[in-house]
Amino acid sequence: MTLSFDPAAIARRALPLLDLTDLGDSCSASAVEALCATARAHHVAAVCVWPQFVTASAAALAGSPVRVATVINFPAGGDDVERAVEDTREALNDGAHEIDLVLPYRAFLAGDEATPRDMLAAVREVCDQGRLLKVILETGALPSPERIVQASRLAIAAGADFIKTSTGKSAISATPEAAEAMLVAIRDHSGPHSVGLKVSGGLRTVADAALYLALADRIMGPGWVTPRTFRLGTSSLLAELVAALEHSA
């Protein structure tokens, strides 16, 4: 897809949609403190951090509209439902507003839809009072757009608030093809209260943001994208967006 776009206009749209993320193996308390300060300064949607950093992130962002997300069943997407529920409950008690849960995609690919459905339903039950459940499909491991649509439909039916492309830990992260399949599933199967899409993994340039925004506009309509329906999971993209705004100014 060849796009013609205004970088500054894309940056203004994309900044409020960012989930600034640090899920690196070397993530530290000081790195999370800096991440939260950056999130406050640029008025992004959320930070996404390891569970052990939720308490500190919630404290650093207190009084701010920036939300705290964390990951569960990550990145392997195992099938231990009880562990996923326990970890979710602990994260919410620590102050998380959003749970990014990895679908047990290996079970799904093996033909077992009951385990993924049970896990999502159980975690959904404890994500209440405005806390969001974002289900990571790990689309790079799913062999076709049809399977991505099937996984999307399963997650939507189980009560996902968002479906998310990737952990960022697999060989293939977000792709336009996967995002398109997920948006079609959202359009066709989420009913009157639209489920959101989070694109995560490999987003680095303003052109990347423009591509996924254009997909959402085309499939869902130009008024659909808001922080409640669309997120970009990244940290490396932030500097490019800020540079585009500074260049315009």
Residues annotated as catalytic are 100, 164, 198
Half-sphere exposure of 43 (CA within 13 A, CB side): 5
The Cα–Cα gap between 5 and 23 comes to 31
- Number of Cβ within a 10 Å radius of residue 113: 14
> What would the two tokens of residue 72 be?
């569960």
The residue count of the chain comes to 249
* Cis bond upstream, residue 51 (ω within 30): no
> What would the two tokens of residue 180 be?
């398109």
Residue 211 main-chain phi, psi, to 5 deg: -60, -50
The Cα–Cα gap between 41 and 51 comes to 23
Q: Which amino acid is at 39?
A: A
The Cα–Cα gap between 30 and 10 comes to 30
The Cα–Cα gap between 136 and 210 comes to 22
